[in-house]
Chain A
Amino acid sequence: MKWSDILRIKAEFPVKVWPNAAQAYHRWVWESIARNKPYNQFVRELLTSSGSNFRVGPVNFYRAIQNKTTEGIAEAVGLALMGARVHFWPEDRRAGMAVFFSQVGYKPTSEWKEEVVFWDPLNSIAVPGSIAPGIPAVAKSVTVTNQIPHALAKPLSENAPVAAVFPDGAETTIPPNRDPREVFADWLIRPENPWFAKAIVNRTWAWAMGRGIIHEPDDIRQDNPPGNPELLAYLEKELVSSGYDLKHLERLIFTSTVYQFSSIPRFKGPQQARANFASYLLRRVEAEVLIDALNDITGSSDLYTSAVPEPFTYIPNSMSAVALADGSITSSFLTLFGRSARATGMENERVNELASTQWLHMLNSATIQSKLQNGPKLAAMVNAGGKPNEIAERLYLTILSRFPTDADVKAVEEYAKSGVSKGRDVWVDLAWALINSPEFLLRH
């Protein structure tokens, strides 16, 4: 889900990956994570793949970029894989990096919305009446000629060695028989690359802890130093020596003392303490996780749909929101609670605040009320009967994963006695109160 934000897996608007391709892209990412593919291999595949957008998932990386100029691609690569905002770099550094992406070609097939991404040193996509980058031009040319432009009699550009400059300033000449993307990828994934390991360990840390050692996690630059350089260096070293094993990195972070700190600070410290992770950072759970939790507790489901009239538009009830592949498939809840729009690939596109319109939804919407009132799982917990404290215990364990305190039980008993609500409604109200407590809404 988080990688889908970064890599902009979305059928339509503003990037146009298209539904079929978004599924293929997502499947590749999902499998890579599930199999714990070494991160260097993951990135190399992402950067150097060629083939159909429907069949070869990672080629969609180049399609999920709004600005498909060479500089636009360089910016997207920098942001996603180097944690760097390339568009703020000086002109010559940007131009030097852009060269590596000057031979990315896109061409259509006779299948609707299928597009092949390939190494195109001869610039065949510039054939007049052939294709320009992007589906609309492709579609137009295919419609006009009813055929796909084939190999050219003579190359449009001389296939000569190309001079390029790596982001670290090293100059190189790319021989004509090598895909410049590969040259760049091989430079990027070297252990001594100053961005590569740093960006991913920092991002992984930020996902676990709510804040990067370098903050923001996708704004790595000289004048934005890490809060704890030793920690960052240690994690980088661990990642490289483990063979780019992301699970190893995550295990290291999750089992650390700092991850297990309470969110309640042990002493009143200055803001500085927060940047140094002296206590766990509070933040609202993500939109997808929140709705999945609510559905899980109540035994209900949400309908996820896409406005794009194509396959995968309707999703089975049993599917959870975190498993949704395509950012175009959504619900009003996900939108309201700040799911990433997947437009830029920036971390801050996902917003986990608690705004008043969200409170309105949690506190008083017909949707949430109906889940609490009619959800079969919640009803079963109440109907299973027992003493009030036993029912309360069941609800507490399900919703907050803890036992109620004596004070909690007392408050519930008093509430029942007050007679505002009767019978089952008492428990609906308790469940309502629990899902509206900070303990439920905030990661702590």
Chain B
Amino acid sequence: MSTNHKSNNHEHVSRREAMRRGALGAAGMIAAGGLNSRVFAAEAKKTPEQIVAAQKAARDEAAKAKARNKGKIKSVIQIFLWGGMSHNDTWDPKPGTGYDYLGEFDKVIPTNVKGIQLGALFPYLAKQADKYSLIRSMTHGVNSHETAAYLMQTGHKAGGRLAYPSVGATFTFFKKEQYKGLLPPYVVMLRAAGRFSEEGFLGPGYKPFATGGDPNASRFEVQGIVNRGINDGRQKARRELVDKINLMGYGLADFPEMAAAEKAKQKAYGLILGRGKEVFNLENEPTVLRDRYGRNTFGQECLAARRMVEAGVPYITISFPGGWDTHANHFATMKRQCPWLDQGLATLLADLSEKGLLDSTLVWCTGEFGRTPKVSWEPPWNGGRHHYGAVFTVLVAGGGFKGGRVVGSSDEKGEKVKERPVYPADLMGSFYLLAGIDATAKLPHPLGFEAHVLDAGKEGMKSTGLLEEIM
């Protein structure tokens, strides 16, 4: 759990050293002795930083060109795996690394895309690999929950003076004018984050609407929208009653505060008594499809999310109903939860695709970090994995991203980035690009501080360029 993120890449460090010597000019070359002087002649012109910057610029350019020809993301489904899911046991398997790394999860399975393998806990996703891409070189090096979760949900470095809004709140900020639906524009199932506030400095208007309830129950009781025991008749009668006894309302009806409150109330009734709430009535779905999603909370959340996408809701977060912080009891937890994730997510992607919604809907799934590739067999962990921000895997699908691809890679044990590190700004920047949101645009701050959608450079965070490979 201590910090184990030193450098992503030994090769990189030695090259930097070589460059430094090269920069010393002739004296450096003499000192460097046997090194090939032609290499120096070619490379001495560029520092490693310049090489990365040039690559980034080229990727960003290519991504922008590709995004121009695509439709824009209309809705986003974000599946957040609180606690951080192991990458080795799931979407970046490392067969043959031995019991200390694998434990009992030593099997991999092929997918419907040649060359991509998954851990054996994901048979459903293996059949849908053409629909999503895996970023196996995601990295930020942060190993504590709060700061890493903030980073992976906002794209901003934690600890600055500003409390940034989540990607969902920012997305809603830019999309809410276009959205005319009855449901709130930003919905979270089932509860809000708690330890950090999604709305950030954008203010309470950008807090996600938390549904509460359980979509896998006989009735999905969405807080305030679907209430057991109060039928529509009683609801209407109550509404008339409150109008009749509204003594104060008569005198003040044309006050702006009253008018605004009244308008909001009408909107609420539109949901309570209108068709809006039908979105949450999963009984309207064929039984076969409900079974396909999996008769568990997460599976039915995925189904509810798809229904919300159909209703035009811009941003839906599913906070996975179960933690992934598996310091102890790791293998049992994985065996319980992975099948839910596998079936629900795979069916969601297939269903969105069948309904022609996948191109306009981005689905992304990650925790705040991965977990240590080496298993802690010693007490008190007895087979656990700890926080690991040096490298982990993110799944992205739809919304203009290609499926069936893998971006970057980790080393043979999944401990470091091997190729193409992807940083939060690269990931979120790609989302914003495909959504038609300018990542350099300003966000309004109540104190007038300068704040932008993303600000990786200013915050001293690395970036290697947008994900043009999968656009």
Which A positions have Cβ atoms within 8 angstroms of B?
12-14, 66-67, 72, 85, 87-88, 136, 263-264, 282-284, 307-308, 332, 335-336, 338, 341, 343-344, 346, 348-349, 351, 353-361, 363-367, 369, 404-405, 407-408, 411-412, 415, 418, 420-421, 429-430, 432-434, 436-439, 441-442, 444
Contacts and interface: CB of A to CB of B under 8 A. Distances in A.
B420 interface: no
Contacts of B199: 341
A116 B201 CA distance: 29
Given A14-B163, A354-B264, A363-B272, A335 B246 contact: no
A365 to B, nearest CB: 4
A70 to B, nearest CB: 13
Interface string B267-295: 11101100000000000000000000000
Given A363-B224, A408-B245, 7 more contacts: A307-B195, A335-B207, A341-B199, A353-B264, A354-B261, A438-B246, A442-B257
Contacts of A441: 261
Contacts of A434: 245
B247 A433 contact: no
Given A349-B446, A364-B272, A335 B242 contact: no
- 8 interchain residue pairs of minimum CB distance: A360-B224, A359-B268, A67-B161, A354-B261, A14-B163, A411-B244, A420-B237, A356-B267
A66 B268 CA distance: 37
Nearest to B2: A143
Contacts of A442: 248, 257, 261
A430 B241 contact: yes
B227 A369 contact: yes
B203 interface: yes
B209 interface: yes
B230 A66 contact: no
Contacts of A357: 184, 209, 224, 268
18 contacts: A264-B251, A264-B252, A282-B258, A284-B261, A335-B192, A343-B201, A344-B446, A353-B260, A357-B184, A359-B224, A364-B225, A364-B235, A407-B247, A411-B244, A421-B234, A433-B242, A437-B245, A439-B248
Contacts of B223: 360-361, 365-367
A71 B399 CA distance: 43
Contact of A438 (B146, B205, B234, B252): B252
A18 to B, nearest CB: 13
A405 B241 contact: no
Given A355-B264, A357-B184, A88 B448 contact: yes
Contacts of B244: 407, 411
Given A263-B252, A283-B257, A356-B267, A411 B224 contact: no
B425 to A, nearest CB: 20
A437 B446 contact: no
B20 interface: no
Nearest to B227: A364
A442 B251 CA distance: 14
Interface in B208-267: 209-210, 212, 221, 223-225, 227-230, 233-235, 237-238, 241-242, 244-249, 251-252, 255, 257-258, 260-261, 264-265, 267
Interface of B: 146, 159, 161-163, 184, 191-192, 194-197, 199, 201, 203-205, 207, 209-210, 212, 221, 223-225, 227-230, 233-235, 237-238, 241-242, 244-249, 251-252, 255, 257-258, 260-261, 264-265, 267-269, 271-272, 446-449
Nearest to B233: A420
B257 A433 contact: no
A51 B402 CA distance: 58
A433 B245 CA distance: 8
B268 A429 contact: no
Given A13-B195, A369-B230, A360 B447 contact: no
A346 B264 CA distance: 25
A316 to B, nearest CB: 21
Contact of A363 (B184, B210, B255, B268): B268
A257 B65 CA distance: 67
Nearest to A444: B248
Nearest to B273: A364
A415 B196 contact: no
A72 to B, nearest CB: 7
Given A365-B227, A438-B246, A346 B195 contact: no
Nearest to A421: B234
Contacts of A358: 264
B448 A365 contact: no
Contacts of A408: 245, 247
Contact of A13 (B146, B205, B237, B260): B146
Nearest to A281: B257
A434 B249 CA distance: 12
A85 B448 contact: yes
Contacts of A354: 260-261, 264-265
Q: Which of A12, A343, A408 has most B Cβ within 10 Å?
A: A343
Contacts of A283: 257
B205 to A, nearest CB: 7
A23 to B, nearest CB: 19
Contacts of B163: 13-14, 66, 341, 343
- Of residues A14, A87, A283, which shows the largest number of chain B Cβ atoms within 10 Å of its Cβ? A14
Given A307-B195, A364-B225, A366-B223, A411 B241 contact: yes
A375 to B, nearest CB: 15
Contacts of A87: 447-449
Contacts of B247: 405, 407-408, 437, 439
B241 A415 contact: yes
B272 A360 contact: yes
Given A87-B447, A343-B201, A359-B268, A282 B242 contact: no
Contacts of A412: 241, 245
The residue among A88, A354, A407 with the most chain B CB atoms within 10 A of its own CB is: A354
Nearest to B223: A365
Contacts of A344: 201, 446-447
Contacts of B191: 332
Nearest to A369: B227
Contacts of B269: 359, 363
B447 A437 contact: no
Contacts of B207: 335-336
Nearest to A264: B251
B197 A341 contact: yes
A364 B199 CA distance: 24
Given A13-B196, A85-B447, A351 B237 contact: no
Contacts of B225: 360, 364
Contacts of B227: 364-366, 369
Contacts of B235: 364
A438 B258 contact: yes
A366 B228 CA distance: 7
Contact of B447 (A308, A336, A346): A346
A420 B221 contact: no
B85 to A, nearest CB: 20
A335 B205 CA distance: 11
Contact of B241 (A66, A332, A433): A433
